[in-house]
Structure 1
Amino acid sequence: MIQVQHLTRRYGDLTAVRNVSFEIGHGEVVGLLGHNGAGKTTIMKMLTGYLEPTSGSVQVADLTLGPDTRAIQRRIGYLPENCPVWPEMTVIDYLHFQAALHDVPETRRDKAIAMAIRRADLKAKATASIQTLSRGYRQRVGVAQALLHEPDILILDEPTNGLDPTQIRQMRELIRDLAQHATVIVSTHILQEVQAVCERVLIMRAGELVVDARLEELQRSGGLLLSVEGDPRPTLASIDAIQSLTAVPDQPGRYHLDAPLDCAPQVVENLTRAGIPLHALEPQRRDLEKVFAEVNEEAAHV
């Protein structure tokens, strides 16, 4: 669906994005993460055609950014972090205006606006002036305008910004619903939101793409957790794949193995041969916060 190859963007001597490549398939929900200044917003602006890359290419299906920018933009719904709205307009008037900008045919506009209002849960505020809305409701107006033309791709920059817990839950449900028909890219600094709705994560650091992996794989790549009777260390010392084996503090009989998952059968075999009772052997799961911290700690030591 989306192919990004060697994407680079420079501002004078500053390289905001450097040689970034990735592919995103139809229906994927992908989280784009990184500290402020990592290049996330620059990536999104280039994907949407609002910013030209210094070098590299972006393809959407059989279209190429540059010669086909307008055609690509018709397939994208974009929610910028601070979505521009006209405060003196009512919600429904603003959506009519946006529908015209999105080239929604007049015969379909009323239906498209009604659908966007329903999906963004704006029915109670449809006739209200935007300047009277809370930050959370303004955010939902931004989401509604991104949905009007039923895009193939949705790019959401901080979609839960300003929302209360109930609205956040509704936004998560909406993103899951949208993913049934569209590709969704979510950029946020709230890692829990990525864990809640995304199946894959791209992590940017200083303009470079340093992680591109499925969330499940990242969370399972923390080694193995072993629960046994007795001390397994002498028995497992002969397994070369185990980099380290350390006792878990305050948990007798539990050990952390810094080792790949595929060495688990050999661990079981050695313990069984030595007659050491095995209670559990499972992947050591990590949350996204830990993964994100590890990525940025590596940069601090470079």
Structure 2
Amino acid sequence: MIEVRRLTRSYGDLKAVDDVSFDIGRSEVVGLLGHNGAGKTTVMKMLTGYLEPDAGAIRIEGLDIRAQRRKVQQRIGYLAENCPLYPEMTVIDYLDYQATLHGVPESERPAAIRAAIERTELAPKADQVIATLSRGYRQRVGVAQAILHQPTVLILDEPTNGLDPSQIQHVRTLIRELTEHATLILSTHILQEVEAVCDRVLIMHAGRLALDSDLAALSNPNRLLVSLEQAPTQAAPMLMALDPVTAVEPLESPDGESPDGRYRYALDTADPAATAPVVARAVSTAGWDLYRLQPEVRDLETLFGAVSRHQEA
């Protein structure tokens, strides 16, 4: 569906995007994350054809964006981060204007505008001037213009910016509905939004792609967390000797000791649920006290911080 190969873009001496490659399948919902200045917005602008890459290739639905830019753009709906609107226009006039720009046939525009208004719950504000709308309603207008021509690719930069909790929940529901017919790239600083709606995450750092992985695999790593009183020199050899365990990693300071006098380890294993009883029996047989034994669970915030620290190191 979307193929990106060795994408590079510089602004003078600053390399904003550096040799980035990834694929996105049809109807996938992918979160694009990174600190400010990581290169996310530059990648999105190149995907939409608004910015030329210095090097690399982008193909969307088999079309090369350099050679067939207009055909590619007809398939894309884009909500920019600052949600650019014409404040002097009414909502319905603005959407009619956008439908014209998107090439929606005149006979189909009323139905397309009505559907976009209904899906973004803008009906009570349809006749109002955009300048009079709250930030949340302006954001909804931005989402409406992005979806009114029924694009097969949606690129949304901070789509829930300025929305209240009920509106955020509505946008989440709308995103799930849209993925029945569209592939979606979502960029946001709200990591809970990515966890709520995305299948996969791409994390950018300093212009490079630092991580590309399914969220399910990241949230449920094949690791067990173990807490014992035995130091690594004593515990690690015993734990490593267990058949289901493939690696042992002390999780504390270089001397391995935490303030409560216990040592913590992460055990790599193909099946944490099956390995836990094996570890418990081995610890009991050794006559050691077992203070903790549980599968490792990582949320996206923890993972994002770990990736950032690793890249900086």
TM-score, normalization: structure 2? 0.87
Farther-moved stretch of structure 1 (269-278 vs 87-96): 269-278
Q: Which amino acid aligns with 2:295?
A: P
| Residues 14-69 of structure 1 deviation map (CA, whole Å, 9 limit, x = unaligned) | 11100000000001100000011100000000000000000000001210011111
**SS of structure 1 residue aligned to 2:27:** coil
- Structure 1 match to 2:297: 285
Distance in 2 between residues matched to 1:71 and 1:224, nearest whole Å? 50
**SS of structure 2 residue aligned to 1:36:** coil
**SS of structure 2 residue aligned to 1:243:** strand
Aligned-pair distance for 1:192?
A: 1.0
Q: Which amino acid aligns with 1:241?
A: A
Distance in 2 between residues matched to 1:4 and 1:295, nearest whole Å? 22
Aligned-pair distance for 1:249?
A: 8.2
- Residues 226, 267 of structure 2: 8 Å contact kept: no
Distance in 2 between residues matched to 1:248 and 1:146, nearest whole Å? 54
**SS of structure 1 residue aligned to 2:270:** helix
- Structure 1 match to 2:55: 55
- Structure 1 match to 2:249: 243
- Structure 2 match to 1:178: 178
- Gaps in structure 2 of 5+ consecutive residues: none
- Residues 88, 130 of structure 1: 8 Å contact kept: yes
**Which residue of 296, 299, 302 corresponds with 2:311?**
299
Aligned-pair distance for 1:269?
A: 3.7
Aligned-pair distance for 1:297?
A: 1.4
**SS of structure 2 residue aligned to 1:7:** strand
Farther-moved stretch of structure 1 (42-51 vs 168-177): 168-177
The equivalences for 1:28-107 within 5 A come to 28-107=28-107
**SS of structure 1 residue aligned to 2:186:** strand
**SS of structure 1 residue aligned to 2:81:** coil
1:194–1:263 Cα change, 3 Å: closer
**SS of structure 2 residue aligned to 1:81:** coil
1:250–1:117 Cα change, 3 Å: farther
- Gaps in structure 1 of 5+ consecutive residues: none
Farther-moved stretch of structure 1 (115-124 vs 241-250): 241-250
Aligned-pair distance for 1:242?
A: 1.8
- Residues 9, 17 of structure 2: 8 Å contact kept: yes
Distance in 2 between residues matched to 1:274 and 1:119, nearest whole Å? 57
Distance in 2 between residues matched to 1:42 and 1:273, nearest whole Å? 53
- Residues 222, 286 of structure 1: 8 Å contact kept: no
Aligned-pair distance for 1:236?
A: 2.4
| Residues 223-276 of structure 1 deviation map (CA, whole Å, 9 limit, x = unaligned) | 313599x9894852534622237899899xx98541223164566446446765
- Residues 74, 102 of structure 1: 8 Å contact kept: yes
Farther-moved stretch of structure 1 (174-183 vs 73-82): 174-183
Distance in 2 between residues matched to 1:134 and 1:283, nearest whole Å? 45
Distance in 1 between residues matched to 2:169 and 2:280, nearest whole Å? 45
Distance in 2 between residues matched to 1:99 and 1:270, nearest whole Å? 62
Q: Which amino acid aligns with 1:284?
A: E
1:245–1:5 Cα change, 3 Å: closer
- Structure 1 match to 2:220: 220
Taking only the aligned residue pairs, the percentage that are identical comes to 54
2:266 equivalent to 1:258: yes
- Residues 90, 130 of structure 2: 8 Å contact kept: yes
**SS of structure 2 residue aligned to 1:241:** strand
- Residues 224, 256 of structure 1: 8 Å contact kept: no
TM-score, normalization: structure 1? 0.89
- Structure 2 match to 1:26: 26
1:65–1:120 Cα change, 3 Å: same
Kindly tell me the number of residue pairs found equivalent between the two proteins. Answer: 299
Aligned-pair distance for 1:280?
A: 9.3
Q: Which amino acid aligns with 1:205?
A: H
| Residues 88-109 of structure 1 deviation map (CA, whole Å, 9 limit, x = unaligned) | 1110010000000000011111
1:274–1:227 Cα change, 3 Å: closer
